[in-house]
Amino acid sequence: MNLILLGPPGAGKGTQAVKIVEKYDVPHISTGDIFRKNIKEGTPLGKKAQEYMDRGELVPDSLVIEIATDRLTEDDCKDGFLLDGFPRTVEQAEALDKFLAENGKKVDWVLDIDVAKEELMTRLTGRRVCRNCGASYHVVNIPPKQEGVCDECGGELYQRADDTVETVENRIEVYNSQTKPLINYYEEIGNIAHLDGAAPLDEVFAEIVKVLGE
């Protein structure tokens, strides 16, 4: 199954991704995670991406397309994949479709998770992420048992550099202007399902299972 998670930052894509991967056994490909790993390791790619990410802007299409399509040629993607945070522009979507068509594949489902802006602001500015395993928490809504410590692995929880109020505002604006047009793009293809991301996590996942099937 070839899947895409679409939705504004903070819609819960990462959280649903963990559940989808577990149930459908597809690799989780997050371009944001790939960039963060490269930043941590101080690679040339990380250095290029960081300036855009810190401002809440999109990394240039050519760079992202190369990274995403490279990752999709890896062996674990041959029976399916879950893209999270890619594509984010119509140009990226077109490049992805072209790449898949050349390999005799297509996108099966686009899962579009939507949440109102005020809720996104609350979710993102309160988000804390485990430095070690990537598990996501929220200072109010999903607090860890011990402040600053991951329940799963004991790792240190931190606030992403781009989860500050100012950067979050910009990321939501960038989503509305550059990524939202993808909804129409996939609407025309007819492979998009809309999900209410304001619902409890398990309900959102139950809706996803209805779309993808048991």
Q: Is 56 in the site for ligand AMP (CB under 6 A)?
A: yes
17 part of the interface to ligand AMP, by CB under 6 A: no
The nearest distance, CB 103 to ligand AMP, in angstroms, is 19
Tell whether residue 12 is a contact of ligand AMP (CB under 6 A): no
Specify the residue, 74 or 147, whose C-beta has the smaller distance to ligand AMP: 74
Q: Which residue in the list 36, 88, 123, 128 is annotated as catalytic?
A: 88
Question: What's the DSSP call for residue 122?
Answer: H
Provide the sign of the torsion angle of the four alpha carbons 66, 197, 8, 127, taken in this order.
Answer: negative
Nearest to 29 by CA among 51, 53, 13: 13
What burial class does residue 19 get, using C-beta atoms within 10 Å of its C-beta: 0-12 exposed, 13-18 middle, 19+ buried? middle
Count residues contacting ligand AMP (CB under 6 A)? 19
Quick check: 59 binds ligand AMP (CB under 6 A)?
yes
Please report how close the Cβ of residue 13 comes to ligand AMP at its closest, in angstroms.
7
- Any contact of residue 32 with ligand AMP (CB under 6 A)? yes
Are the CB atoms for 113 and 11 separated by under 8 Å? Answer: yes
Q: What Å distances lie between residue 25 and 80, 201, 213, CA to CA? A: 9, 19, 14
The only residue of 5, 6, 53, 129 in contact with ligand AMP, by rule CB under 6 A: 53
